[in-house]
Structure 1
């Protein structure tokens, strides 16, 4: 493996992979309409079946796909206790190639105050370029820096925006050892969606930490 001259591979707080968890703690906040009645496990199975992450609006943003830049140690904290009063995240998700995602257009969000956001969006020709990257930062009342969020962004009004992750999947995080999707799982009987024919790493949550759990064939 080639190690970058700085950053990833050198800094102990930077991972080689981005994580997309399919179940986040909501507290008293109602789930998005698309998630009503679904489960984190079901959403993971659906993503593996389509091999695609669908974009959606977050608090009025343009359509985005959100990933977290966290190490395995940090992910253990997210799944065990969470990092806010909303509780832990559900132990279901994907690990995606860091460099592959960056090459595809993934970028870190910009944590900005309301005043800074207005300054940027009021400038001509910058709104479409920057709006999808902005996350409100007005601590202590509004602070999402714990998510260490990166995003794929799409223009408002895009038709079915999303990201093909067929070649980006490094592994899956699952809530039970040996998990595999059902018949409608990652390789449905569809001539337009053939098997990928490769294994990815499977990591299981044992209630305390993420542990290696063999491979999952896609």
Structure 2
């Protein structure tokens, strides 16, 4: 069944378990020997207007192409995912609740696609083009003591980097302190005017009150 854009938006917005947006989460990082908070990293990305794809040699990307990663889930579900990670994987800096929100339509138009969950060895049998292996995410429930399942993220990926305009970008902030840090640091900037140009801002902690 096919939809017009408006029908598609209506279909998605009437389901609490679906979303018309994709979320890219950031985290704190060490850049040139200096520690930067997740908010610092977020502002750096917004100033540059580009998401840099994860290196397949350093991350969980299959194949030889870098890719930008997104989650296709309602914000309430993303908040729950992050709370679970923080509780069960304390000390592992996988991602924070700070990030960027984009229209699924926009990411698809730029080449983003849903990932394919399977054992990489099996997926490569039917995805024979090595240039498409960036879509493969490991999935294996065969060993009950070592189960691999990332399907809760409903991941999308986009090969390479992704340039974006602030006007098409909403900002996700994890908590009140980070929100205040973000506002203060944005107000210190003269160009670009991030707060004036982004299309929205959401504080994730408010969804789990």
* Shared fold (TM-score, shorter chain, > 0.5): yes
Partner of 1:42: 40
Are residues 118 and 201 of structure 1, via their aligned partners in 2, closer, same or farther at CA, if it must alter by over 3 Å? closer
Are residues 76 and 56 of structure 1, via their aligned partners in 2, closer, same or farther at CA, if it must alter by over 3 Å? closer
For 1:137, which of 136, 139, 159 is the aligned residue?
Answer: 139
Partner of 1:21: 25
Partner of 1:165: 164
Following TM superposition, by how much is the alpha carbon of 1:34 offset from its aligned partner in structure 2, in angstroms? 8.7
Partner of 1:127: 130
Following TM superposition, by how much is the alpha carbon of 1:83 offset from its aligned partner in structure 2, in angstroms? 8.5
Give the count of matched residue pairs.
Answer: 189
Contact 2:9 2:20 in 1 (8 A): no
CA distance in 2, matches of 1:84, 1:142: 19
- The structure in which a higher percent of residues are helix is 2
Are residues 142 and 34 of structure 1, via their aligned partners in 2, closer, same or farther at CA, if it must alter by over 3 Å? farther
Structure 2's unaligned 5+ residue stretches are none
Contact 2:19 2:72 in 1 (8 A): yes
Contact 1:80 1:209 in 2 (8 A): no
Structure 1's unaligned 5+ residue stretches are 25-30, 155-161, 212-218
Partner of 2:121, secondary structure, is helix
Contact 1:78 1:89 in 2 (8 A): no
CA distance in 1, matches of 2:119, 2:27: 27
Are residues 146 and 186 of structure 1, via their aligned partners in 2, closer, same or farther at CA, if it must alter by over 3 Å? farther
Partner of 1:104: 110
The TM-score, its normalising length taken from structure 1, stands at 0.70
Partner of 1:209, secondary structure, is helix
Are residues 114 and 105 of structure 1, via their aligned partners in 2, closer, same or farther at CA, if it must alter by over 3 Å? closer
Following TM superposition, by how much is the alpha carbon of 1:135 offset from its aligned partner in structure 2, in angstroms? 0.7
Are residues 71 and 204 of structure 1, via their aligned partners in 2, closer, same or farther at CA, if it must alter by over 3 Å? same
- The equivalences for 1:197-212 within 5 A come to 198-206=197-205, 209=207
Are residues 5 and 45 of structure 1, via their aligned partners in 2, closer, same or farther at CA, if it must alter by over 3 Å? closer
For 2:99, which of 76, 93, 97 is the aligned residue?
Answer: 93
CA distance in 2, matches of 1:189, 1:86: 38
